[in-house]
Amino acid sequence: MKAKPDLRKTWMLLPFFWLWAGLSGCLEPVEGCLDVRAENFRADADENCCCTWPRLTLVVTHQVDDEVHDPAFTYANAAGESWRLVRPLILLSDFTLYFEGKAPARLLDSMIINGEWYRQDQVLLTRDVSRVQAGSFIESGRLDSVSFLMGLAIPSDQQNPEHFPSGHALRDNPYDLWTTGTGFAAVEAAFLTGISGDTILWRGYGPLKVTLPSDQVIAIGSALELPLTVNYGAWFDLQQLSGPSVMPDTNWMEQVRASLY
C-alpha cells in the first residue's frame, strides 16, 4: 500500500517555490560574447553579443642603418652625398597572416565603396607613427609570417579619396598621395640634398608585396604586435644625389621594400 503524501510538508514548501519562481522571472539574461576566439569571451553569458576580435598592431622603428632616424639630421649615402629626409610616407595594405597548417588569414575589416566590397586595412606610416592598428583577425596558433602590400591593390589604388568613408585614413588625401590617372602612390620621400635648398619629392607606385617572418605562437583570443623596422638609409644609399636633376633609379622601390624588416 502506498504511503499517503504528507500535505503539510507540501504546503510548507510552497512559499519557497513561489519565491524561487519570482526571482527567476526577475533575472535578466547576461549579454556577452560567446565566441572563444574573441578578446572579450564570456563563458557565463546567456545571449551572444558584442564580440571584440584580436587586433594586429604594427610597432614601428624608424632608423638609418643602426641609428634612430632624425628628420633634422643630415646623413650621407654610400657615395658620400648628403641627404636629409624631411617627410617619409609609406602606404601599406592587404595584410595576411600565415599560421602553420592553416589557410592564409586575411584581416576581417571591410567596407563598401561605390557598391563594392573593399579591404579596410590600409595603414599610413609617417615618421611620427610608432604604433598603428591594421585591423582584426580570429585565427590562432603558430604564426610563420605576415605579408602586406606597399601601396593599394587594384582597383583600390584608383579610388578617389572622396569615395572612402568619413574618418578613413585615406579620405582626406593626406600629402596629396592620390592624383588623377596614377591613383595612390605607395611611397613618398620629401627630402633635401647638399646641392639644393629646395625640397625634392620622390614618389613610387605599387603594389609590391612584403613578407615578414614571425615564428611566434598566438593564443586563442590574443592580439598580435608585429615589430616593423624602416631603414631610410636604404632609400638613398644606391641613389645618385648630385647633378642638376635628382631622380631615383628604376630600382628605388625595390630598395624601399628592402628597407622594411
> Coil, strand, or helix at residue 27?
coil
pTM: 0.83
Q: How many CB atoms neighbour CB 182 within 10 A?
A: 12
Q: Which helix (H) or strand (E) holds 256?
A: helix 252-258
Cis peptide before 207 (omega within 30 of 0): yes
Please tell me the predicted confidence (pLDDT) of residue 14: 47
> Coil, strand, or helix at residue 251?
coil
Please tell me the predicted confidence (pLDDT) of residue 112: 73
158-217 pLDDT, tens digit per residue, is 888 888 877 777 877 667 788 888 889 999 999 999 866 789 999 999 899 999 999 999
Measured distance CA(204)–CA(217) in Å, rounded: 35
Assigned C-alpha cell, 175: 600629402
Contact 223, 138 (CB under 8 A): no
